[in-house]
Structure 1
Amino acid sequence: MAGRLRGSRGNMSSIDPGRFDCQSCGACCSYSAEWPRFSTETDEELDRIPPELVAADLSGMRCENDRCCALTGKVGEGTACGIYLLRPHVCHTCQPGDEECLMARAAWGLA
């Protein structure tokens, strides 16, 4: 993911993350099939993720095109993670209003 990032986090202090509602967005979960990857999860954590949501090569979440298969709803209107409490660690790192969030929102044409 780091290779896809642009810009500087130095500008982040001026962004109010409270103005971003993840449940009416979902862009980060539909931006790139490369994002929902497994990295630091324990075997026990991985075993809790439903097998039908795991990629065939076991590297991360299964995606259809760039959309994570655990995402429900319509991007930009109303979304939810079907395995929110079990989601991979990388899913915790994208925060409302951060650089990854803004990049995904821009790709979807969301302000």
Structure 2
Amino acid sequence: MPQSPSPDIYDCQACGACCAYSEDWPRFSLETDEQLDAIPEAMVATDLSGMKFENGRCVALNGELGKCVGCTIYTVRPIVCRDCMPGDPECLMAREAIGLPV
């Protein structure tokens, strides 16, 4: 039976796929008003549903996809961003969608 690759092989700082998967993904869900207030207003979508998505990626993502990336608001990032874990089904789906190996 084939084994799934270990999540350890997926380095978020060398990926960024989850931040570039879909404009609907960096959404707000269970954040408190206090948590939302900590996110810079310029990075919030005009309809207030989540993070602003421009040029095929979340505006908080800095760097080159698949090489070296980082979140400029990492400490206050939305819950959906905190919940996506290296190698989990959402991670693999995002990696595959942008053409990174799974």
Please state which band the TM-score falls in when normalised by the shorter chain. over 0.9
Q: Show CA shifts across 1:11-58 (max 9, x none).
A: 9x8331111100000011001000011110000000010000000011
Query: Structure 2 matches for 1:65-80, cutoff 5 A?
Result: 65-80=55-70
Query: Does the 8 A contact of 1:37 with 1:59 survive in 2?
Result: yes
Partner of residue 39, structure 2: 49
Partner of residue 85, structure 2: 95
Partner of residue 24, structure 1: 14
Number of residue pairs the alignment of both structures matches:
100
Distance in 1, matches of 2:17 and 2:28, equals 19
Tell me which protein shows more helix as a share of its residues. Answer: 1
What is the aligned-residue RMSD (CA, Å)? Answer: 1.5
SS in 2 for 1:73: strand
2:43 counterpart letter in structure 1? L
Distance in 1, matches of 2:29 and 2:90, equals 18
Distance in 2, matches of 1:73 and 1:14, equals 28
1:108 aligns with 2:92: no
SS in 2 for 1:57: coil
Q: Identity of counterpart residues, as a percentage?
A: 60
Distance in 2, matches of 1:102 and 1:14, equals 11
Superposed displacement of residue 97, structure 1: 0.4
Q: Structure 2 unaligned runs (5+)?
A: none
Distance in 2, matches of 1:22 and 1:90, equals 15
Superposed displacement of residue 65, structure 1: 4.2
1:83 counterpart letter in structure 2? I
Distance in 1, matches of 2:85 and 2:66, equals 16
